Each structure stands twice: as structure tokens, then as C-alpha cells.
């Protein structure tokens, strides 16, 4: 898997890998490699498999159409995630205009059995994640599972680094409490959890010990990595 | 959840989308 970092210019995306390299071809190849991660991030936002894949495909198409605006040397994965995230919230705002949206109320709506079969497959971790506020879940996925630095996650989420750190810290505490049986889990079937939990927690351990002070600044900084 | 999805095979729909992109935007062959 090709690595894309802010500090390490993408040879293929910049077209510098070889004099005769086709930038479109290289860009397409990089997009292809990132599809699994894009799908995963989309699923973490949407929950629903089909909706998530629709959203990921939409983001993929937009990324291709906007490839000329991609800044060579920047983080393609972060750029792609930003496109998807913007599309997700744009869709949600559109839905809000059609009907009032209450996130907390939506979390409490029981899921009809058979209506969303994907829910049956949710592990304890996934169920606990779904119980988190959307912004905390997003921060946890980006940093804990997606492998983004706090700085990159802040750019994707269009907020301050301190805000991401604060969200991750709160999410981690809530997730730990839920998985230890001290917090609420959405009322769904409970297949066994496992490696995903350990992986997320290990990643967070490396980045931010649970007892680390809350470094949230509380201020959002507008950034545009596109 | 995230890692599990990452490990899933990419659905055909995505590859089909890339083919459509190729056909609609490029006259050249960018298939890998």
C-alpha cells in the first residue's frame, strides 16, 4: 500500500515518479488503493452498508472529477476523507431541511429486526461506537482506526487540533466505560467484540494516555486541505 | 468495525464506477 503523507510528497500524485508517468493513471491507481479505507470511514459515519458504499462511490467520483485541484504532495487519503465527510454532512443538512433531525433521539430509535441486517453483525465495539456522539465517533475513527495524526484529523474535520484531542479523549472514556459494562450500549444483538477494540485502544494509548490532560482549546479553526 | 471493513473485498460496484469514469473522461486507457 502506497503511503501518503503531508511531509512526503506523493510521487505518483505529483507526476514526478518518472518523466513519462501519466498523472491520471497514477491518481486512479492511488484512488483504487484507498477505496477500502474510504469505505470504512464512510461506514463509520453512516452505519448502513449500502448508504455508506453509495456515499463512498459519490466521493470517489467527485475526487476523480476534481483531481486537477488535488495539491501534489499533500495527503491524498485525507483529501479523499474530507470530500466524503463534506458530502455526508451536506446530505444530512439536506435531510434536516426536509425533517427536523435529533441525533440523540435517532440513537434511541429501536432498530426493527430484519430491516437492517447489518446490525446483526455489529460487534460490541461497533455498537459502542454507534452510541457515541457523531463528532466523537468521527474523531475516534480517524485517529484510532484510520491512523491519522491529530493534525490531519483536525483538517479533515475542519476543527482545531485541541478539539480533536478533546473529542478523542471523551470518546475513549465513553467507549471504555461502555465496553466494561459501565455505560450504555445501543440495544442491538451482541456478537463478540475483539481485535478492533484492542487495535483502537492500542493506537490511542500510543497517542494519548487516558489520564492525559484535556487539551481542548474549544475553538474551531477553519481549514481547507483541498 | 473500521478494520473489518478495510479487510472486505472491494465490491464490484466500485470497479464498475472506475470503468465508467475511464469511459466518460478519458479517451485513453487507464485500466490497471
Instruction: State how far the alpha carbon of A55 is from the alpha carbons of A58, A75, A91, A153, A198, in Å.
Output: 5, 20, 9, 19, 28
d(CA B22, CA B11): 18
Q: Which residues, 6 or more positions from A39, have their beta carbon under 8 angstroms from its beta carbon?
A: A52, A53, A56, B5, B6, B8, B10, B14
d(CA A5, CA A8): 5
Q: Which residues, 6 or more positions from A137, have their beta carbon under 8 angstroms from its beta carbon?
A: A44, A129, A130, A171
Q: Which residues of A touch B6 (CB under 8 A)?
A: 36-37, 39-40
Q: What confidence score (pLDDT) does residue A157 get?
A: 92
Largest alpha-carbon pair distance within chain B?
39
Which of the residues A23, A40, A58, A123 would you substitute to probe the B interface, choosing the one with the greatest number of B C-beta atoms within 10 Å?
A40
- Tell me, yes or no, if A24 comes closer than 8 A to chain B by beta carbon: yes
* Gyration radius of chain A's alpha carbons: 18
Q: Do A122 and B4 touch (CB under 8 A)?
A: no
- Low-confidence stretches of chain B (pLDDT < 50) are 27-32
Q: What confidence score (pLDDT) does residue A183 get?
A: 61
Residue after which a domain boundary falls, among A101, A121, A137: A101
Examine the domain organization and report whether A118 and A218 are in the same domain. yes
Cell numbers given for B15:
470497479
A164 belongs to a structural domain:
yes
Examine the domain organization and report whether A119 and A226 are in the same domain. yes
Instruction: State how far the alpha carbon of A46 is from the alpha carbons of A52, A152, A154, in Å.
Output: 6, 21, 20
Residue after which a domain boundary falls, among A71, A101, A131: A101
Examine the domain organization and report whether A87 and A135 are in the same domain. no
A108 belongs to a structural domain:
no
What is the reported pTM?
0.62
Examine the domain organization and report whether A92 and A128 are in the same domain. no
Phi-psi region of A18 (alpha: psi -120 to 50; beta: other; left: phi over 0): beta
Instruction: State how far the alpha carbon of A211 is from the alpha carbons of A89, A169, A171, B16, in Å.
Output: 32, 9, 13, 47
Element (H, E) at A108: helix A103-108
Q: Which residues, 6 or more positions from A74, have their beta carbon under 8 angstroms from its beta carbon?
A: A6, A10, A225
Q: What confidence score (pLDDT) does residue B18 get?
A: 82
Residue after which a domain boundary falls, among A49, A73, A101: A101
A51 belongs to a structural domain:
yes
Looking at residue A130, which CATH number applies to its domain? 1.10.10.10
Examine the domain organization and report whether A144 and A215 are in the same domain. yes
Examine the domain organization and report whether A215 and A135 are in the same domain. yes
Examine the domain organization and report whether A147 and A44 are in the same domain. no
Q: By CA distance, what is B22's nearest residue in A?
A: A28
Examine the domain organization and report whether A121 and A203 are in the same domain. yes
Examine the domain organization and report whether A154 and A95 are in the same domain. no
Q: By CA distance, what is B32's nearest residue in A?
A: A29
Distance from CA of A29 to the nearest CA of B (A): 7
Q: ipTM score of the complex?
A: 0.77
Q: Give contacts of A 134-193 with B, CB under 8 A.
A: 141, 145-146
d(CA A200, CA A142): 10
Distance from CA of B10 to the nearest CA of A (A): 6
Q: Do B30 and A123 touch (CB under 8 A)?
A: no
Examine the domain organization and report whether A2 and A83 are in the same domain. yes
Burial class of residue A142 (count of CB atoms within 10 Å of its CB; 0-12, 13-18, 19+): buried
A106 belongs to a structural domain:
no
Query: How many domains does one find in chain A?
Result: 2
A19 belongs to a structural domain:
yes
A107 belongs to a structural domain:
no
d(CA A214, CA A143): 16
Examine the domain organization and report whether A198 and A119 are in the same domain. yes
Domain that includes residue A152, residue range: 113-226
- Tell me, yes or no, if B24 comes closer than 8 A to chain A by beta carbon: no
Q: What confidence score (pLDDT) does residue A180 get?
A: 76
- Low-confidence stretches of chain A (pLDDT < 50) are 1-17, 109-121, 187-194, 209-226
A124 belongs to a structural domain:
yes
- Tell me, yes or no, if B6 comes closer than 8 A to chain A by beta carbon: yes
Examine the domain organization and report whether A67 and A15 are in the same domain. yes
- Tell me, yes or no, if B23 comes closer than 8 A to chain A by beta carbon: no
Amino acid at each position: 500500500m502506497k503511503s501518503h503523507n503531508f511531509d512526503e510528497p506523493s510521487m505518483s500524485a505529483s507526476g514526478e515518479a518518472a518523466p513519462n508517468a501519466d498523472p491520471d493513471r497514477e491518481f486512479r491507481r492511488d484512488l483504487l488503493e484507498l477505496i477500502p479505507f474510504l469505505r470504512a470511514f464512510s461506514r463509520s459515519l453512516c452505519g448502513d452498508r449500502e448508504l455508506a458504499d453509495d456515499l463512498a462511490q459519490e466521493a470517489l467520483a467527485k475526487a476523480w472529477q476534481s483531481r486537477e485541484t488535488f495539491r501534489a504532495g499533500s495527503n491524498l487519503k485525507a483529501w479523499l476523507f474530507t470530500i466524503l465527510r463534506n458530502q455526508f454532512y451536506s446530505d444530512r443538512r439536506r435531510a434536516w431541511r426536509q425533517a427536523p433531525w435529533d441525533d440523540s433521539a435517532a440513537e434511541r430509535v429501536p432498530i426493527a429486526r430484519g430491516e437492517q441486517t447489518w446490525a446483526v453483525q455489529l460487534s460490541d465495539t461497533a455498537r459502542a461506537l454507534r452510541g457515541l456522539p457523531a463528532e466523537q465517533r468521527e474523531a475516534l475513527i480517524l485517529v484510532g482506526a484510520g491512523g491519522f495524526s491529530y493534525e490531519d484529523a483536525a483538517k479533515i474535520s475542519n476543527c482545531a487540533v485541541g478539539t480533536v484531542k478533546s473529542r478523542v479523549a471523551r470518546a475513549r472514556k465513553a467507549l471504555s466505560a461502555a465496553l466494561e459494562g459501565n455505560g450504555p450500549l445501543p440495544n442491538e444483538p451482541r456478537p463478540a467484540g475483539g481485535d478492533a477494540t484492542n487495535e483502537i485502544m492500542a493506537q490511542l494509548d500510543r497517542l494519548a494516555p487516558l489520564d492525559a490532560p484535556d487539551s481542548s482549546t474549544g475553538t474551531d479553526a477553519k481549514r481547507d486541505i483541498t | 468495525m473500521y478494520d473489518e471493513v478495510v479487510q472486505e473485498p472491494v465490491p464490484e460496484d466500485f470497479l464498475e464506477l472506475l470503468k465508467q469514469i475511464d469511459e466518460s473522461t478519458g479517451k485513453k486507457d487507464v485500466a490497471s
